[in-house]
Structures are given as structure tokens and as C-alpha cells.
Amino acid sequence: MRFDLQHTDTRSAARAGVITTDHGTIETPIFMPVGTVGSVKGVFHRDLKQEIGAQIILGNTYHLYLRPGTDILERAGGLHRFCAWDGPILTDSGGFQVFSLSGCRKLTAEGCRFSSHIDGSKHLFTPENVMDIQRSIGADIMMAFDECPPGDAPYDYAARSLNLTSRWLERCFERFAQTAPLYGHAQSLFPIVQGCTYPDLRTRSAEFVQQFDADGYAIGGLAVGEPAPVMYEMIELVNGILPRNKPRYLMGVGTPVNLLEAIERGVDMFDCVMPTRNGRNGMLFTSEGVINIRNKKWQDDFSPIDPAGCCFADTTYTKAYLRHLTIAGEMLAAQIASMHNLAFYLWLVGEARRRILDGTFADWKPGMVEKLSRRL
């Protein structure tokens, strides 16, 4: 993997670049649709490419390990062939999912023992076998195995968690160096900066991860309950330490406003389930603000879903029709809303990139944030 930094905004830390992988190039800043189990919920891969403009998608190690399992994935030739996606893929390590299973997991120096959310069966994740699982999946970008403590974790807990994550990171890179890709294309491993909302812990982590000279670096453990201004403070702190010539990936974030604020602070890559999850529940993100399509005010609004038209569904269907489908519980409603939201997110990061390159980002961003914050 190679990252070429093309331009940095003169009035902020916003950057535009290009990531080159064996499965194609990715123009940054970029939003990555979440395909947890090998699919972006309700969206065909054809539409991901042609309508939404996705350049890279995510898979999740925890979920793919449980089903279909590494045996099936290896026999299929890896996740790319299994799900018929020929572009780049990034896999999360499963650390966040294990964090969310706090009631049925146990952390030790060895790794994490947990019970499957599917059938209650017992499993062990270690830095070593998480690397092996991601080799079996075959993602272009792999993530290190980490613990993601809650946003309000006390300092002592956060410090112990960071020490554990740091020891696990050393083992991840050791195992990564001992193994080879299975499917003929290169794989990269990103470390994850942790440390909750404590500046000294974040600083220590951002300095520690650089010893591995990785192809890119992730910022984890944010958007887990802390106030947005604190999240932005941590992003700014960490990006001031991480190397300029490597991509920075903010994990699990966030709203359109979060994306622009993080881009302004030098983040290059994002993922979040919000466009699809919120879309399935009737929330639409647009360049003029947020729509709750369930509201009665839309029942006789026969205007297009979004006149700006990020995808075909925006100008083909009306707000009244989408509200009708949503209230009726029709699955097409979730598909339309998911496609719209994902296309809007990809438009937003693409427009931010264009503004960075032409020098207008700092002028454009405040007005855009104001509009994105509206409830329509």
C-alpha cells in the first residue's frame, strides 16, 4: 500500500491524498461503507460502485469469524471473491465488537475470551489468531487487535487498557511479520491509537505506535460517549503527533458534521454504520439538513427526496412515497434511505476533497456545518 499526500489546506490541517492498493486506488478524504458480514445492508455492490461511489468497504473480523468462518472464506478464495467485491476492503479487528459484549467477555494478557452473540459458544481472540483470521479474510488493510474502553473510563482503567493494547500491538506486528498473504495481493496492518480522553495517554499511544512504521494509523476509542468537543480535541492532539506522510483513519465516526470537523483536523479515512442504520429508521442526511421521513409533514410532499441528487433514488422517488414505504415497513424504504445516505456521505467527503484541492475548504466548511446541523 502507498499513500501520496497531494495537498494540505493552507488554513487548516485538511488534506487530500491517494491510497494505492492492489485492488485499486482510494481518493482521500474518504468514507468507507460498513459491510459487517460481507454486505452493506440492503445495497447491491453494483449500486455501491455506480450510484454511491464507494471506493473501499469494510468487513468485520468478529462477525466473519463466527459466520461463515475462515474455512469457507479460504475455500472461496478470500472475502473479495466470496462477496464479489473487486475493490479494496478494510477489516476491523473485532476489538470494538468484543468491547460491546462487556457482559460476556473476559480480558487477560493472553487475549479476550467471549461468548458468541449467535449461539453462546465460547471463543478466544488473541493478537496472533486475529492476525491469522484477517489473513484468511484477505482484506487489503488489516487492523490491530485492541481493547476499546468506554468513553467515560476512569484514568486508572484507561491506563491499564492502553498498556494491554500496546502489548497486544507488539504481538500483532510480530505475527503479521511471520505470516504471508494467502491470495496473492498485499495486505497492510494499521495500529490503533487509544487512550480514551486523557491527553497524556493519547500522546503516549500516538508516539508508541510509530515504532512499527506502519502503512497507516487508526484513531480508535472515540465517539463512545464522550462530548464532541472532547473528541475533536483528541483528534487534533493525535494528528499533531502521527506522521504526515501516512493516512489517518478515524474509526466509527460519525455524523456528517463530525466528518467535516475531523477532516479539518487532518483525518483521511472514516467508517460508520450511521448512514445505513439511521436510514433504516427513517433518518435522511442531506446538504440542507436532517430529515425524519416518518414525520407527518412529509406525507404529502411530492418533491424529490433530495433535489441535489447524489444517486438515482434521490430524484426518482418523492418524500411522500418514501414516508409511505417507511410507515408501511416496506423493505424498499430501507434500501432507498440507505442508498441515499451513503451516496450523500460519499458526496460530502468528495466535495471536501475538491474544496481542499482548490483552496476553498476553510470558507466552505463553516456554512456547510451550519446547514448539516439543521433539523428539517
C-alpha–C-alpha distance, residues 234 and 155, integer Å = 15
In this structure, what C-alpha cell is assigned to residue 103?
457482559
349 neighbors 263 (Cβ within 8 angstroms) = yes
Q: Quick check: helix, strand or coil at residue 120?
A: coil
Q: Is residue 17 helix, strand or coil?
A: strand
Sign of CA dihedral 13, 264, 205, 193: negative
CB neighbourhood size of 266 (10 A): 22
Instruction: For residue 150, count CB atoms less than 10 angstroms from its CB and return exposed for 0-12, middle for 13-18, buried for 19 or more.
Output: middle
Q: How far apart are CA 122 and CA 107, in angstroms?
A: 13
Please confirm, yes or no, whether 132 is among the known catalytic residues. Answer: no
Choose the catalytic residue: 9, 140, 215, 271.
Answer: 271
- Quote the crossing angle between the two packed helices 256-264 and 331-358, to the nearest 10°: 20
User: Could you tell me if 299 and 273 are in contact, meaning their C-beta atoms sit under 8 angstroms apart?
Assistant: no
Determine which one of 92, 146, 268, 314 is catalytic: 92
Establish whether 119 is a catalytic residue.
no
Question: Which cell is 176 given?
Answer: 503479521
User: How many Cβ atoms are within 10 Å of 31's Cβ, its own excluded?
Assistant: 26
Measured CA to CA, the distance from residue 254 to residue 274 in angstroms comes to 7
Name the residues annotated as catalytic. Answer: 92, 271
